[in-house]
Amino acid sequence: MTVATVREALEEGIGRLRAAGSESPRLDAELLLGHVLGLERTQVLAHPEARLGDGQLERYGLLIERRAVGEPVAYIRGTKEFFGLAFNVDQRALIPRPETERLVELTLERIVEALTRAPRPPGTPPLRVLD
């Protein structure tokens, strides 16, 4: 990569990932650049004019290439957020899909409903939730 600013690095990374068929090239590039810089994605986007050092550019390029060949961003970064929590992950972990969070929300709604809709008759077995 021969770029010098955040904006240029992102443009090049997005182009490379788009050409590789990534479903979310912009998001992937932003997350990977933030990982290299040690910044949150919003901080990266807030300073497009910031200059990157050569080591940062090289590392970002290597991460973009890993993503371009299909390695999940969560494995590259070593972390995945799920339901407001950050988990350390590697190739041994299954990465939850976005709709899995919705399943958790629906399950919690059903539990709350079951516990609050009416008094439970004596002798009713306890409510059990299994993962």
Model-wide pTM > 0.75: yes
Mean pLDDT throughout 4-28?
95
Q: How far is CA 28 from the centre of its chain?
A: 8
Q: What is the pLDDT of residues 32-60, one digit of tens each?
A: 999 999 999 999 999 999 999 879 999 99
Closest by Cα among 65, 59, 66, 68 to 23: 68
How far is residue 27's CA from residue 127's CA, in Å, rounded to a whole number? 40
Predicted local distance difference test score (pLDDT) of residue 28: 97
The average confidence (pLDDT) of the chain is 91
Closest by Cα among 33, 25, 24, 27 to 1: 33
Q: Are 41 and 34 in contact (CB under 8 A)?
A: yes
